Structure 1
Amino acid sequence: MMTIKPPRSGNRRRNIAAWCAAAALLAAAGCARQRPPSVGIVFDGRPLTLDPNAHREVVTRSVLSNCFEGLVGFDPEMRIVPLLAERWENPDDLTWVFHLRTGVRFHNGRPLDAAAVVGSFRSASRPVAARASGGVENIDTVMAQDSATVVVRTVRPNAVLLNRLAKLYIVSERPSRPVASDTGTVAMLAGTGPYTIESWRGDSMALTRWEEYWGPPPQAAVLRLLFREGHHGTAELLRRGAADIAAGVNARDAGRIERLKGVQLVRRPGLAVRYLRADPSARPYSDPVVRRAISLALDRQQLVDSAAAGYGRPASQMVTAAVFGFNPELPPLRCDPDSARALLAAAGHRGGPALLLDVIETRRDLGTLIQRQLRRGGCARSRVGAGRGGVGARTDRRSQFFLSGGGRRRGGRGRAGGGGAARAGGGI
């Protein structure tokens, strides 16, 4: 049995101004009906690690979700489905009993058992991993009842535990074979997914089909993954046929890629919502009048049209219509700079509060647009700061006010292969 120590403090930041529900875009060059021997997929960026529970960055998790699985997952409509746990029950409000699927083997040949699940929970409870997976929050203990049964007890009733566990991948305590790279070999954890990583050289990675996979075999025998920061050169790769799919096409490039002959741009409602987050214990964000004024100052439609090139819609709440809990009766959030200025003046904020909005470098243009809107709403002393901490700047604990985003890409289990057209990286 293992006991998980809860985080020392919860996430106290308040989401004060959701503004954009993003569309999900994928470009596909052709779509053969026969089973393809290989599929080439271009990603915007490259994986940060080969540890599936160490980082929640989109490309990292999109790639590794082809090699690792959780107890549960999502189907294409974002419904919870069994994966390594074939069923579960709740004897009481704090207890979850998971019955593991039989006949599952890790890529190193070892069978899936309860000990590996408990070990994965232990690994995911490390501070860095806990922030990445989010699956161990509110968990008290995890124990192996027998080799095929795992009992999880939570600190308090947790209705969304399954959604959290979909982000926690199960790994073997023994590694898989090393992965060939430019610098020799890289250690690789053993998962249970339909693909294994064959090699990772520079900006490309090769995944091969795991022939002993417990589920339906994926369509493509080989995945050729290409990593291009900002999708630089992606259009040319699609045009030449060097890539079949571009995952996570950004709004700026969507129109240009859509005009390529033989390339189809696939649009689906996205799951991500971008929003401004603030620390409610820090001034001036502790003042609800300031938070209300910030929300009123934002012109969300302008942000969608400018930053997302129209591929999105103004958000009315923290989730999109594809997510359980969305309330279709909530009205759109109002843009009213005059009311924002009046609120601040009545509360004694002469000249407006001093706001410092942290954004990562690639979002500086968006931050500047938000700054202009805030100033029109009476926050004349608004500034845009450089994001701290590189990739993790959006959630850096030192930031008191920053641009963030939540949600995940569509596509259920986030795989390439399976039924229908081949796809990878969250499916889009």
Structure 2
Amino acid sequence: MTTYKKSLIQAAILLAFTAGAGAQTVRIANQGDALSMDPHSLNETVQLSVTSNVYEGLVGRNKDLTLAPALATSWKQVSPTVWRFELRKNVQFHDGKPFTADDVLFSLARTQVDGSDMKSNTNDIKEVRKVNDFVIDIETKAPFPILPEQLTSTYIMSKKWCEENQATKPVDRRKGIENAASFRANGTGPYRLRERQPNVRTTFVRNGNYWGKIEGNVQEVVFTPIGNDATRVAALLSGEIDVMEPVPVQDIDRVNASAGAKALVAPELRTIFLGMDQKRDELLYSSVKGKNPFKDKRVRQAFYQAIDIEGIKKTVMRNASLPTALMVGPGVNGFAQDQNKRLPYDPDAAKKLMADAGYPQGFEVTMNCPNDRYVNDARICQAVAQNLSRIGVKINLAAETKGTYFPKILRRDTSFYLLGWTPTTYDAHNTMNAIMACPDDKGAGQFNLGTYCNQEFDKITRAVQSETDKAKRTAMIRQAFQIHQDDIGHIPLHQQSLAWGVNKKVTVVQRGDNYLDYKWITVKK
């Protein structure tokens, strides 16, 4: 299908849901869809942001990203390894069933079963105990001072609803398995799911029985994926949609110059990076047979130093990025500016490293990349491929929609890939545990898809989790990051900027983690 025909189809979809939209309907477009309504099936921001309006965790976030009571009204440590959560009373799920401690025990256990993509959020929990219907204790394997932060994107489902609908386990995105929770939803949040048409349209309506305050006036939210940048921008400027994300960096000035829309631009906490298969003895997708070149640090360093990150910032990102040497960015606890020093861009040094490693002519390797997830993701990968060609590396670029991309790389069916990560705790430990730690079957390293492993790094990560002295903890994080930098465990690229397009009649709250809360949206009548 041609791009033109796709644009016509997307325009027809927009017209279909625009007709009859009232003043309190807000129409939201994103370059990609939420891949499932199951809140435990994919640890990805678009999906978690969308489902956060239907489901809630024990702990939430305020507009300034500070912690806020949600399904728990309060929490405290009753011992070094036990947290007690007082649960909110008189809360109902959307089907009318009451919320109790049983739902919390069920949901936290559900995040640890096969198919869950949220294991790294709860892998340090030893046991969850019911004290009574509205009090639970969570015991961790070691002291875990940031447990409440860790639970902000771990959403609570109805135990009875899941049992009645044969959805006691999350859908497995790696295997393409679906169940009722993929297309239906039953949370406690401020909005209910009314209609789900994957990759076409998802409609939410205000929950009249919501326990909390809904500050905005939006009665209905229509979420539509529009993959084509030009179509998405045109829909915003014509007034067919009210909010869109992301605004292509080259269109920010155009949007701001329009009569009816504006671009909200701010730093994002996400880090974009490259990962390499460092486990297999032979890469799955490479011209090198009988060995794995990424096991050689010289090859990893050559790739790093061959990438012109300032060129990518200027030509691909239009200066809407912040190059980084660390796997976390400013705003994340543990980030140290004096440690944020990239290896120099030096193709000649990179060529020598390749020759020293036994690859003077380079080699071929496939690079997996999404084309509808991050800001200019496919273009970044194209630029990386061009850079690497200068040292003899031929990149076979496999750019695809995130609907097929994520299942593939989450199976570790990749040799070289691009990924982004926002630590939900806004603390370095989250990235260390989920992205950089050696994978185990409990959730550590769940998104370390190239299986970088360093035992000393893992030892420090475990110590960081339980350390309560801030100065000691900061020093440990610094030490761990230095180990990872010295190993070139991954190749960090940059932190991208948020760019939301918003109709001037609409007020939204732009969070630094790229979540969009419908309860804070107001449409001027």
Q: TM-score, normalised by structure 1?
A: 0.78
Q: Which amino acid aligns with 2:388?
A: L
Structure of higher RCO (CA pairs closer than 8 Å, 6+ residues apart): 1
Q: Within 1, Cα distance between the matches of 2:147 and 2:308?
A: 35
Residue pair 1:175, 1:187 contacting (<8 A) in 2 also: no
Corresponding residue SS for 1:316: coil
Q: CA deviation at 1:201?
A: 4.9
Percent identity, please. Answer: 24
Q: Which residue number corresponds to residue 205 of structure 2?
A: 208
Q: Which amino acid aligns with 2:93?
A: F
Which has the larger displacement, 106-115 or 156-165?
Answer: 156-165
Match of 2:320 among 287, 308, 311: 311
- Structure 1 segment 82-101 matched on structure 2, within 5 A: 82-101=69-88
Q: Which amino acid aligns with 1:101?
A: R
- Structure 1 segment 63-212 matched on structure 2, within 5 A: 63-129=50-116, 131-132=117-118, 134-175=120-161, 188-201=184-197, 203-212=200-209
Q: Which amino acid aligns with 1:406?
A: W
Q: CA deviation at 1:347?
A: 4.4
Match of 2:296 among 287, 302, 312: 287
**Is it true that 1:46 corresponds to 2:42 in the alignment?**
no
Q: Which residue number corresponds to residue 372 of structure 1?
A: 386
Q: Tell me: CA distance 1:239–1:364, structure 2 relative to 1, closer, same or farther (3 Å).
A: closer
Residue pair 1:172, 1:189 contacting (<8 A) in 2 also: no
Residue pair 1:78, 1:323 contacting (<8 A) in 2 also: no
Q: Within 1, Cα distance between the matches of 2:106 and 2:398?
A: 38
Match of 2:335 among 321, 326, 335: 326
Q: Tell me: CA distance 1:119–1:268, structure 2 relative to 1, closer, same or farther (3 Å).
A: same
Q: Which residue number corresponds to residue 59 of structure 1?
A: 46
Residue pair 1:85, 1:100 contacting (<8 A) in 2 also: yes
Q: Tell me: CA distance 1:415–1:404, structure 2 relative to 1, closer, same or farther (3 Å).
A: closer
Q: Within 1, Cα distance between the matches of 2:516 and 2:371?
A: 30
Q: Which residue number corresponds to residue 400 of structure 1?
A: 415
Q: CA deviation at 1:159?
A: 4.3
Q: CA deviation at 1:406?
A: 0.9
Q: CA deviation at 1:360?
A: 3.6
Q: CA deviation at 1:304?
A: 2.2
Q: CA deviation at 1:172?
A: 1.1
Q: Within 2, Cα distance between the matches of 1:84 and 1:90?
A: 17
Q: Within 2, Cα distance between the matches of 1:420 and 1:367?
A: 35
Residue pair 1:100, 1:149 contacting (<8 A) in 2 also: yes
Q: Deviations over 1:43-96 (max 9, x none)?
A: 222232221221234433222111111111233333333211222222334322
Corresponding residue SS for 2:310: helix
Bigger share in strand: 1
Q: Within 1, Cα distance between the matches of 2:227 and 2:382?
A: 22
Q: Within 2, Cα distance between the matches of 1:77 and 1:291?
A: 38
Corresponding residue pairs, total: 380
Match of 1:240 among 238, 241, 257: 238
Corresponding residue SS for 2:311: helix
Corresponding residue SS for 1:293: helix
Q: Which amino acid aligns with 1:381?
A: V
Q: Tell me: CA distance 1:76–1:285, structure 2 relative to 1, closer, same or farther (3 Å).
A: farther
Q: Within 1, Cα distance between the matches of 2:299 and 2:367?
A: 14
Corresponding residue SS for 2:85: strand
Which has the larger displacement, 313-322 or 225-234?
Answer: 225-234
Q: Which residue number corresponds to residue 348 of structure 2?
A: 338
Residue pair 1:395, 1:404 contacting (<8 A) in 2 also: no
Match of 1:275 among 269, 273, 276: 273
Q: Within 1, Cα distance between the matches of 2:414 and 2:222?
A: 38
C-alpha root-mean-square deviation of aligned residues, in Å? Answer: 3.2
Q: Within 2, Cα distance between the matches of 1:413 and 1:369?
A: 25
Q: Which amino acid aligns with 1:326?
A: F
Q: Within 2, Cα distance between the matches of 1:149 and 1:420?
A: 32
Residue pair 2:276, 2:294 contacting (<8 A) in 1 also: yes
Q: Tell me: CA distance 1:399–1:163, structure 2 relative to 1, closer, same or farther (3 Å).
A: farther
Q: Which amino acid aligns with 1:335?
A: Y
Q: Within 2, Cα distance between the matches of 1:299 and 1:421?
A: 42
Q: Within 2, Cα distance between the matches of 1:277 and 1:112?
A: 41
Q: Which residue number corresponds to residue 383 of structure 1?
A: 395
Q: Tell me: CA distance 1:235–1:320, structure 2 relative to 1, closer, same or farther (3 Å).
A: same
Residue pair 2:369, 2:418 contacting (<8 A) in 1 also: yes
Q: CA deviation at 1:422?
A: 6.5
Corresponding residue SS for 1:229: coil
Bigger share in helix: 2
Q: Which amino acid aligns with 1:275?
A: F
Q: Within 2, Cα distance between the matches of 1:413 and 1:100?
A: 27
Q: Within 2, Cα distance between the matches of 1:74 and 1:417?
A: 13
Residue pair 1:75, 1:81 contacting (<8 A) in 2 also: yes
Q: Within 2, Cα distance between the matches of 1:244 and 1:189?
A: 24
Q: Which residue number corresponds to residue 9 of structure 1?
A: none
Match of 1:350 among 353, 360, 364: 360
Residue pair 2:38, 2:182 contacting (<8 A) in 1 also: no
Q: Within 2, Cα distance between the matches of 1:417 and 1:57?
A: 18
Q: Which residue number corresponds to residue 229 of structure 1?
A: 227
Q: Within 1, Cα distance between the matches of 2:514 and 2:276?
A: 32
